[in-house]
Structure 1
Amino acid sequence: MDDGSPRWADRDAQRWGRIAAVVAAVGDALASRAWTPQAGSEIFGDVEVPGYPGDLTQTEQKIVGEWFNYAEAVRVDPWWDQLENGRHRLWRTLPFFGDALVPICGSALGYANAADAIAMGPSWPQTFSTQLHEVNASVAFDATDPVNVNFRRSMEQASAGHFPSPV
């Protein structure tokens, strides 16, 4: 909020270090593809993390769950200067991640599918080509990280007019 008051009254009651540890563990599991697809879904899966959810309160569990829920994910594409969502959660947890990778969801690739390509029109690959150029120009983008390698590969596929795998 602009008035400086906390967005959530119980913000300071959360154990942000524990939240960050679980978020990092889930992110590592997703990055290593150590997840089980949910039946009937191409994009949703389950991850098992030791101690979760037992070590977290109900509110802390909700915070972790929302981190990986597309609608509420901590989200930004590498070429944007500002987070699209989740900045308060990121600000509260960032001091606790240490050397762990911080999972961040991108938005652009969510539109690399048949239905959205029709809505964008025949030049839809050009949008992804422009974004790929911005990824390649970004000094903050770690092109050696395995998840980022997959992200970049998917951006290349979309810029060539192909739909990348949603996972």
Structure 2
Amino acid sequence: MTGHDVHSFGVPVSNPDMFWFGTLDDVHWFADPADDRYADDVELRWDRMVDPLASVTEALRAGDWTAHPDGGFVIAVVISGLSVEEESVIVSLFSGHPIQADPWDTELTDGRHRTWGFWSYDPGLVLPFESRLLGDEKIVGDPEYTPPHLTAPLRTDHRDEASEQLPQLPTGVVERSPRYVAALTRLARSEDVS
């Protein structure tokens, strides 16, 4: 593992409105993945990654990004002393491989190792999550992924899920995630597609 000198780079984010921000107290699925995903020769220093992660998370939460000419957005970050693998873990939380879940989900299909690593070090750390529901809804609107005969029933299911879960969101999630709450509200108020 090789550390880097101080350098800056941009963390890409495709759709900031799809992210919500939570702590261990806001979720129902935290568990030790205990499957030795990371090889013995890759030692991740979760404690060293916390400050850069918190910086990027806060920038995303606060809307401190710039539009990228090729689409999406970029958050500028300055990092020092992290390995390439550690930088990749941080970037993965925002782009390419974000943890996809909603606060009411009871399990994760991806992100167990990253949440375990960070929250084992600091359970109060605010992590970014890309909404599974809003991501599914985006795919439903794309005819390349969803046959037309399934669009209306899926949209209705998504609208109903958003309507049911909005009043039950943890207070901390609501306070930290206004764009996410607004996107869920728009979905909950949307009309059926025929």
Residue 137 of structure 1: how far off its partner (Å) = 4.9
Say whether 1:152 aligns with 2:178: no
Partners in 1 of 2:122 and 2:55 — Cα distance? 10
Retained in 1: the 8 A contact 2:101–2:130?
yes
Aligned position for 1:132 = 162
Work out whether 1:81 is the aligned partner of 2:106.
Answer: yes
| SS in structure 1 at match of 2:89 | helix
Contact 1:36 1:47 in 2 (8 A): yes
1:8 counterpart SS class: coil
Following TM superposition, by how much is the alpha carbon of 1:34 offset from its aligned partner in structure 2, in angstroms? 0.5
**In 2, distance between residues paired with 1:5 and 1:111?**
28
Output the CA distance in 2 between the equivalents of 1:127 and 1:22. Answer: 37
- Counterparts of 1:1-167 in structure 2 under 5 Å? 4-10=34-40, 13-41=43-71, 44-50=72-78, 52=79, 54-70=80-96, 72-97=97-122, 99-113=124-138, 114-115=141-142, 119=148, 120-138=150-168, 140=170, 142=172, 144-147=174-177, 149-161=178-190
Structure 1 gaps of 5+ residues are 163-167
Q: Is the 8 A contact 1:21 1:97 kept in 2?
A: no
Shift of 1:94: 1.0
Q: 1:125 to 1:160 in 2, by over 3 A?
A: farther
C-alpha distance 88-26 of structure 1, shift in aligned 2 (>3 A): same
- Aligned to 1:103, the other structure's residue is in SS state strand
Q: What is the Cα-based RMSD across aligned positions, in Å? A: 2.9
Task: Give the percent of matched residue pairs that are identical in Structure 1 and Structure 2.
Answer: 19
The worse-fitting range, judged by mean Cα deviation, of 97-106 and 77-86 is: 97-106
Letter in 1 for 2:75: V
TM (norm. structure 2) is: 0.66
Amino acid in the other structure paired with 1:93: F
Name whichever structure is richer in strand by fraction: 2
Q: Return the alpha-carbon distance in structure 1 between the equivalents of residues 165 and 172 of structure 2.
A: 10
How many positions carry a matched residue from both structures?
A: 155
